[in-house]
Amino acid sequence: EHFLTGANRAFTVSPHEYCPRGKRLFLKKVFHNMSCFSYELLHTDPSGARSGALNLAHGRVQTPVFMPVGTHATVKAMTPEELEEIGAEIILGNTYHLYLRPGTEVIATLGGLHRFMHWERPILTDSGGFQVFSLGQLRKIDESGVVFSSHIDGARCSLTPEHVVDIQRVLGSDIIMPLDECAPYPADRGYVAESMARTHRWARRTKDAKMGHDGPAQAPALFGIVQGGMYADLRRASALDLVDMGFDGYAIGGLSVGEDREVMLNMVREAVSCLPTDAPRYLMGVGSPEDMVLSVEAGIDMFDCVLPTRNARNGTLFTRRGKLVIKNSRFERDAAPLDEECLCYTCRNYSRAYLRHLFMSKEILSSRLNTIHNLYYYIDLMRRMRQAVSEDKFVAFKKDFFTNLS
């Protein structure tokens, strides 16, 4: 066996355990008394926008960052190599879906989620709370956790805060999320306050369960999730309570669920005002390019959303000049790329006319090429925001961004 060292980690490689991937190797990681997580705040723009870096077990991630959604251990229509080529540094998986299918035992037997899906870089796994609470009458909430009927076969299943930790550790996630309750919108204050308090009790149990597992070896980072609906004082109280518990990072959940953009941004600002500057901030399930630019200005570091991949499959493409609906007849003979300023594989090689033809013909290649473009756009938007922050030019960047869209 050959012993190699890397930044904040160590590896052992057996000749029986690796397989080629280009000129690289799959490595069996063995960690020795080292921290698996740290956050570096690199620069803060006068606007409040910031750039930083997450140091995780499977690599370094620059922030602000967009995490493509790989709910079922795949980012729809994309191979891991293609994700790397467009600059993806971290992706998101979902505990609820992977727990139901193929099941954690299958993934564990096959070497964990990274090896199972052929992705070597960091993975954040959502707890599945949002999916469970979206089941409506098919689930029941109590202090112990949630009991629900599987959307696949109707089988009765349950998730507790402790179980969610167990599942995510088996998956081998770099960042794990606690079970939380996403209150519906609109909801009265009493319900939201009760839901938030239960989420906090679950967060405490999640942290205790994780600490019970942690030993001298590396462990995943654990983020707390700020709730509180659309009530500013509850958002502040939630953030302060979680900070008092102490987490590696802090997510803001329960937003972009039907409220107006300004309401969402107000809730983001209220939460951020109570969060520490030396920890990452993750806005869950958001969003549109406009929402992300405004949220970065509010101090957010991490995002995920199905919008770029879902819209790609539906024929809606993001460009620096706004959204483009490829099925429109005006693109039938258009030889231009989707976006003249875009350097993605799709824009470098294919015309709007061809992409419209693929979409109208319901060809599988349509989803692939559209997804490559949309995800590249999102990831490049983050790169451009990081650059603007580093140069103290975020306000000018935001002005140009919205001017180009109009």
Strand partners, 187: none
Identify the active-site residue in 45, 126, 291, 339: 126
pLDDT at residue 116, rounded to an integer: 98
pLDDT at residue 218, rounded to an integer: 61
Kindly report which listed range (62-66, 128-132, 176-180) carries the lowest average pLDDT score: 128-132
Identify the active-site residue in 248, 291, 301, 304: 304
What's the pLDDT tens digit per position in 372-402? 999 999 999 999 999 999 999 999 999 999 9
Average pLDDT over residues 164-188: 95
What's the pLDDT tens digit per position in 190-224? 999 999 999 999 999 999 999 877 654 468 999 99
pLDDT at residue 215, rounded to an integer: 57
Tell me if 146 sits within 8 A of 132, measured CB to CB: yes
pLDDT at residue 272, rounded to an integer: 98
Q: Average model confidence (pLDDT) for the chain?
A: 90
What's the pLDDT tens digit per position in 261-287? 999 999 999 999 999 999 999 999 999
180 is catalytic: no
pLDDT at residue 135, rounded to an integer: 74
pLDDT at residue 212, rounded to an integer: 79
pLDDT at residue 158, rounded to an integer: 92
What's the pLDDT tens digit per position in 18-37? 333 333 333 333 333 344 89
233 is catalytic: no
pLDDT at residue 406, rounded to an integer: 77
pLDDT at residue 214, rounded to an integer: 64
* pTM of structure: 0.91
What's the pLDDT tens digit per position in 34-93? 448 999 999 999 999 999 999 999 999 999 999 999 999 999 999 999 999 999 999 999
